[in-house]
């Protein structure tokens, strides 16, 4: 794949063949070395062939191979003449991260850290096929799909400030539960309030370093503070929604006669009935995911209060922000000096809106949107803030995490003969896990250096560093 370096952090894939726009990759030179980059770079070029794509097919520094679109991919399509593609959202619709801050510091937590991580593991269902304590009737599940986080708050599972600190208030409009399959509803009935498996986690951390005191203060972060981070999505419900529409759209594309370089790029025109149905069903899965993370935060608050014998006021656990990674959204962006309505696909990418943006709540509108970047469970995570440059260059987008370096199979092979949980404990990190192969698949070596990923987006100006977090306890599925 031919690459042309534009500046320190950006590389162009020039337009060739049926590409309608160039590809733009955010990365350091070292990140692009090795044969494992060929496939995701090819996917960036493939996405550039889709009808209605605007400006460029983008990839963030945590880019790696995905279904159709690369994970770490961003693409915007004209709302009238463009397409929507499930591969540009992913199977785990609205997989995302929620960060909460507390009034506790390390000395408050260390003596009871083992009790805390054990209690979190016991009270937050995790693992493949895990089921929560909420068993929904179909009519009640459809309310979740329409209302998202608001449904959880109506059940007493949250606090008043949670919605304003959640992207889109924890609910996408136009969700239509009548468009999802009976199989999707069945899978979703018992999984609300569960962490799941794979790269999903719950992490207790410490604010290790502050880079921007003013913005950190606006986010309620201070050095030495204890935090809680949750990473999960729409579970089996979202997976089924994606699977159902991929099957339908693959047939749909054949009828249209649209020539795609990869069948995994199955899509539909946004203005078609198929495109509209997918977006409304996808909104259901996004709302399910927001309700899921809302419930997990509430359960985690209860565990913290019980373990430390504190009331809500003394614990002070408040939501900093909830961001989604896998989603397609109707947004307005200025392109070539003209405001246009577009459908932005962010797959393994985070929204990064600047100060003054109307989508932000009043408190954050002054400084910009919090951007939460989890690393692997053995190093660090970061809090960034959105910028004007992201709005102009990447449709208000930035990276979403460290990004995989090794496949799960390769990680298992590399971990043979090692005790990953002992290695983590030697670093002062306690870990609890469900699946037999989870720690091997998710070991720190399986991921890129999150600090290097963050250095690229910070250097490129599409988000700025605010704080660095260090993990001290992790629950994995």
Give the residue extent of every domain in the chain: 4-476
pLDDT score at 412: 83
* pLDDT, the chain, mean: 95
**What are the two backbone dihedrals, phi and then psi, of residue 426, each rounded to the nearest 5 degrees?**
-65, -20
pLDDT tens, position by position, 388-431: 999 999 999 999 999 888 888 888 888 887 888 888 888 888 99
Give the pLDDT mean for 292-307.
Answer: 97
pLDDT score at 434: 83
With a CB cutoff of 8 Å and minimum separation 6, the contacts of 75 are 47, 50, 53, 57, 58, 69, 88, 344, 345
The residue whose two tokens read 């494992």 is: 36
Classified by CATH at the fold level, domain 4-476 comes out as tRNA-splicing ligase RtcB (3.90.1860)
pLDDT tens, position by position, 422-476: 888 888 889 998 876 788 888 888 898 999 999 999 999 999 999 999 999 999 8
Q: What percent of the chain has pLDDT over 90?
A: 84
pLDDT tens, position by position, 164-201: 999 999 999 999 999 999 999 999 999 999 999 888 99
Distance CA 140, CA 22 (A): 46
Find out whether 36 and 6 touch, Cβ atoms under 8 Å: no
Query: Which is nearest to 102 in space by CA: 376, 317, 348, 382?
Result: 317
pLDDT score at 357: 97
pLDDT score at 376: 87
Give the pLDDT mean for 123-142.
Answer: 87
Q: Which of 298, 400, 421, 458 is catalytic?
A: 400
Instruction: Determine which of 142-156, 285-299, 440-454 has the lowest per-residue pLDDT on average.
Output: 440-454
pLDDT tens, position by position, 350-390: 999 999 999 999 999 999 999 999 998 889 999 999 999 99
pLDDT tens, position by position, 228-267: 999 999 999 999 999 999 999 999 998 888 889 999 999 9
What is the pTM (predicted TM-score) of this model?
0.96
Query: Which is nearest to 138 in space by CA: 193, 191, 185, 187?
Result: 185
pLDDT tens, position by position, 36-79: 899 999 999 999 999 999 999 999 999 999 999 999 999 999 99
Query: Which is nearest to 398 in space by CA: 409, 412, 411, 384?
Result: 384
Q: Identify whether 400 is a catalytic site residue.
A: yes
pLDDT score at 95: 98
């Amino acid at each position: 794949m031919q690459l042309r370096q534009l500046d320190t952090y950006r590389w162009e894939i020039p337009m060739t063949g049926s590409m309608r726009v160039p590809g733009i990759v955010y990365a350091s030179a070292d990140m692009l070395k090795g044969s494992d980059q060929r496939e995701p770079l090819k996917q960036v070029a493939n996405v550039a062939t889709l009808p209605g794509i605007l400006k460029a097919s983008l990839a963030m520094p945590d880019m790696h191979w995905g279904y159709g679109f690369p994970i770490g991919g961003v693409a915007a399509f004209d709302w009238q003449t463009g397409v929507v593609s499930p591969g540009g959202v992913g199977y785990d619709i609205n997989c995302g991260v929620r960060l909460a801050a507390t009034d506790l510091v390390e000395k408050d937590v260390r003596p009871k850290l083992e009790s805390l991580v054990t209690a979190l593991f016991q009270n937050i269902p995790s693992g493949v096929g895990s089921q929560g304590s909420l068993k929904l009737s179909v009519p009640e599940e459809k309310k979740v799909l329409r209302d998202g986080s608001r449904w959880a708050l109506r059940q007493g599972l949250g606090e008043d400030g949670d919605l304003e600190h959640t992207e889109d208030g924890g609910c996408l409009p136009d969700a239509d539960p009548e468009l999802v399959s009976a199989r999707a509803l069945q899978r979703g009935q018992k999984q609300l309030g569960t962490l799941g498996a794979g790269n999903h986690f719950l992490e207790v951390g410490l604010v290790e370093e502050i880079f921007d005191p003013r913005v950190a203060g606006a986010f309620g972060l201070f050095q030495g503070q204890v935090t809680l981070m949750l990473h999960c999505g729409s579970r089996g419900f979202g997976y089924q929604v994606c699977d159902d529409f991929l099957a339908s759209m693959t047939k749909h594309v054949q009828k249209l006669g649209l020539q795609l370089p990869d069948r995994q790029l199955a899509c539909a025109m946004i203005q078609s009935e198929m495109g509209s149905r997918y977006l409304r069903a996808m909104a259901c899965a996004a709302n399910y995911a927001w309700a899921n993370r809302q419930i997990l935060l509430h359960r985690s608050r209860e565990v913290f209060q019980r373990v430390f014998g504190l009331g809500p006021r003394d614990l002070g656990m408040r939501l900093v922000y909830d961001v989604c990674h896998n989603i397609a959204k109707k947004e307005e962006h200025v392109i070539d000096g003209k405001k246009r309505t577009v459908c932005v696909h962010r797959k393994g990418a985070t929204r990064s809106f600047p100060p003054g943006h109307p989508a932000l709540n009043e408190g954050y509108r002054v400084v910009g949107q919090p951007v939460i970047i989890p690393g692997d469970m053995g190093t660090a995570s970061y809090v960034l803030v959105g910028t004007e440059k992201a709005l102009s260059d990447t449709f208000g987008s930035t990276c979403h995490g460290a990004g995989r370096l090794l496949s799960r199979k390769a990680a298992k092979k590399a971990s043979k003969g090692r005790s990953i949980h002992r290695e983590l404990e030697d670093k002062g990190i306690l870990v609890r896990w469900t699946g037999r192969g989870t720690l091997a698949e998710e070991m720190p070596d399986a991921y890129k250096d999150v600090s290097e990923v963050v250095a690229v987006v910070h250097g490129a100006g599409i988000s700025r560093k605010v704080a660095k977090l260090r993990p001290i306890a992790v629950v994995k599925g």
